[in-house]
Amino acid sequence: MTQRESRIGKFRVVALRDANFALDGGAMFGVVPRALWERLTEVNDDHTIPLAATPYLLDDGVNRIVIEPGMGRRWGEKQTKMFHIDHSGGHDLLESLRAAGVEPEDVTHCLMTHCHWDHIGATCGEDGKPVFPNAQHWAVESEVKALSAQGHMRGASYRIEDLQPVIDAGLLNSFSGEVEVLPGITMTELGGHSEGIALIQIASEGDKGAFWADIVPTRNHVHLPFIMAYDMNAEKSFKVRSEWIKKSADEGWLNMLYHDTISPMGRFVFDGKKYGYDPLVD
CA distance 117 to 83: 12
Q: In what order do the strands lie in the sheet with 275-279?
A: 178-182, 185-189, 198-204, 207-211, 254-256, 265-270, 275-279
pLDDT in tens, the chain (282 residues): 467 999 999 999 999 999 999 999 999 999 999 999 999 999 999 999 999 999 999 999 999 999 999 999 999 999 999 999 999 887 899 999 999 999 999 999 999 999 999 999 999 999 999 999 999 999 999 999 999 887 777 788 999 999 999 999 999 999 999 999 999 999 999 999 999 999 999 999 999 999 999 999 999 999 999 999 999 999 999 999 999 999 999 999 999 999 999 999 999 999 999 999 999 986
User: pLDDT tens for residues 168-215?
Assistant: 999 999 999 999 999 999 999 999 999 999 999 999 999 999 999 999
Residue of 179, 244, 242 whose CA lies nearest to 212: 244
Q: Each residue of 10-34: pLDDT tens digit?
A: 999 999 999 999 999 999 999 999 9
DSSP 135: P
Q: What is the pLDDT of residue 56?
A: 98
